[in-house]
């Protein structure tokens, strides 16, 4: 691979880490293109990237034309295209097909049956066509199934683990835990046992269910800490007030390094989403040595959560099952400790080093065969 073009949806911490820890360490000349600004989190791309990056602007048509112009002039022999559903991604894919460029599509999307028969038919035709020419970089087991289900050859699929800087999360949390009581006091958390949620406060995250389940815990020493922001914030706070729960803490959105403190003082991580393509916060929780409770709709559950080993997987929307999982961990400190240790054992091999090795395998088979 001589020169690559890496096309991402938007600047984000995960993307910055991927570029820094994988692509920048390989002997590859690459350019970075973002299809959108990250307005929601105001995250600016890391310059390591040591090189300038391009953020496309304008409407989708203008972005598509600009991207084709860049690809035409770039002399790339490999293009990474993050996605396939939008006009910009479609333009990049068609350019690669027409010009016989080697391209790969990374994906955190789970395979889901589409109820509308017309949409299902059109999606199968479209993906069946582009997957004949593409390589697939699925982030986990359920994403592998997506590529297979729409006709991609198994030999064209290379699992690239969806992950984070595991070492950094683990090291930072271990250091903070040495001052656990002091840090908890600084965060205003008094309770002994801390259940943690990190993510957007949105309906799809099912935080209502989490609050309902937590309200049934007859344990005065347990707290529920909610880190994040979103359009459900006020309604969730109102719900907590109506239930008269004094140990639910809304902490707002937090970024690195402030987020490390919350993982460090937590005892159990919970992600109750009714749908979650992957759930990178699960990786973060495991790297910090936490037992996790996730719904079966969380994409990462199949690869990273071993039921009864490093946490629990409950049926999405089932409050009784979620409550049962939370109760078991709330009253069993030995199990929390053991599962937390197992969590790190699961995530320690799901790293950027693993991603790098798999990318090298792809390069050897595709470029140097």
Asked if residues 4 and 30 have their Cβ atoms less than 8 Å apart, the reply is yes
The domain made up of 166-347 has a fold known as: Rossmann fold (3.40.50)
Mean pLDDT of 261-273: 98
Q: 3-class SS at 286?
A: helix
Sheet holding 311-314, edge to edge: 248-252, 222-227, 193-198, 268-271, 292-295, 311-314
Q: What is the pLDDT of residues 165-217, one digit of tens each?
A: 999 999 999 999 999 999 999 999 999 999 999 999 999 999 999 999 999 99
Which helix or strand (DSSP H or E) is residue 336 part of?
helix 333-347
Nearest in space to 293 (alpha carbons), one of 333, 265, 323: 323
Report pLDDT for 49: 45
Q: What are the C-alpha distances in Å from 177 to residues 170, 194, 289, 297, 331?
A: 11, 13, 11, 31, 21
Asked if residues 5 and 78 have their Cβ atoms less than 8 Å apart, the reply is yes
Q: For the chain, which residues make up each domain, given as ranges?
A: 3-161+351-366, 166-347
Q: 3-161+351-366 and 166-347: same fold?
A: yes
Which percentage of the chain shows pLDDT scores above 90? 83
Asked if residues 229 and 237 have their Cβ atoms less than 8 Å apart, the reply is no
Tell me the whole-structure pTM to 2 decimals. Answer: 0.92
Tokens of residue 145, six digits? 């199934």
Report pLDDT for 318: 98
Q: In 99-129, which positions are buried (b, 16+ CB within 10 angstroms) versus exposed (e)?
A: eebbbbbbbbbbeeeeeeeeeeeeeeeebee
C-alpha torsion 163→143→357→365, nearest 10? -160
Check pLDDT > 50 for residue 50: no
Mean pLDDT of the chain: 92
Report pLDDT for 220: 76
Q: CA-based Rg of the chain, rounded to a whole angstrom?
A: 22
Q: What is the DSSP letter of 257?
A: T
Q: What is the pLDDT of residues 88-113, one digit of tens each?
A: 999 999 999 999 999 999 999 888 77
Q: 3-class SS at 32?
A: strand
Mean pLDDT of 348-364: 93
Which percentage of the chain shows pLDDT scores above 70? 95
Tokens of residue 284, six digits? 């973060």
The domain made up of 3-161+351-366 has a fold known as: Rossmann fold (3.40.50)
Q: How confident is the model at residue 329 (pLDDT cuts 50, 70, 90)?
A: very high
Non-local (6+) Cβ contacts of 206 within 8 A are: 272, 273, 274, 295, 316, 317
Q: How confident is the model at residue 290 (pLDDT cuts 50, 70, 90)?
A: very high
- Separation between Cα atoms, residue 358 and residue 141, nearest integer Å: 15
């Amino acid at each position: 691979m001589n020169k690559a073009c890496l096309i991402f949806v938007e600047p984000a911490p995960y993307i910055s880490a991927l570029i820094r820890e994988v692509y920048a360490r390989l002997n590859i000349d690459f350019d970075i293109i973002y299809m959108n600004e990250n307005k929601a989190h105001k995250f600016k791309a890391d310059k390591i990237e040591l090189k300038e990056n391009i953020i496309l602007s304008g409407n989708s048509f203008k972005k598509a034309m600009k991207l084709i112009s860049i690809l035409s002039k770039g002399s790339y022999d490999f293009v990474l295209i993050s996605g396939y559903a939008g006009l910009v991604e479609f333009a990049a894919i068609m350019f690669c097909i027409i010009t016989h460029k080697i391209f790969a599509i990374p994906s955190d999307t789970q395979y889901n049956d589409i109820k509308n028969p017309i949409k299902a038919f059109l999606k199968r035709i479209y993906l069946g066509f582009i997957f004949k020419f593409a390589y697939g970089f699925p982030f986990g087991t359920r994403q592998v199934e997506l590529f297979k289900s729409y006709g991609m050859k198994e030999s064209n699929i290379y699992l690239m683990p969806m992950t984070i800087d595991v070492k950094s999360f683990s090291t930072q949390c271990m250091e903070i835990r040495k001052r656990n009581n002091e840090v908890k006091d600084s965060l205003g958390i008094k309770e002994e046992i801390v259940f943690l949620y990190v993510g957007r406060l949105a309906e799809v995250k099912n935080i209502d269910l989490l609050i309902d389940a937590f309200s049934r815990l007859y344990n005065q020493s347990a707290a529920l800490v909610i880190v994040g922001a979103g359009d459900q914030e006020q309604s969730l706070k109102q719900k907590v007030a109506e239930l008269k729960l004094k140990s639910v803490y809304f902490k707002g959105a937090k970024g690195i390094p402030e987020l490390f403190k919350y993982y460090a003082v937590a005892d159990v991580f919970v992600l109750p989403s009714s749908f979650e393509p992957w759930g990178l916060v699960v990786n973060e929780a495991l790297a910090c040595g936490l037992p996790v409770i996730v719904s079966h709709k969380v994409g990462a559950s199949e690869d990273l959560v071993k039921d009864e080993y490093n946490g629990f997987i409950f049926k999405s929307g089932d409050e009784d099952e979620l409550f049962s999982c939370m109760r078991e961990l709330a009253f069993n400190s030995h199990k929390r400790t053991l599962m937390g240790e197992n969590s790190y054992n699961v995530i320690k091999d799901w790293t950027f080093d693993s991603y790098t090795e798999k990318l090298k395998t792809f390069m050897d088979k595709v470029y140097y065969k």
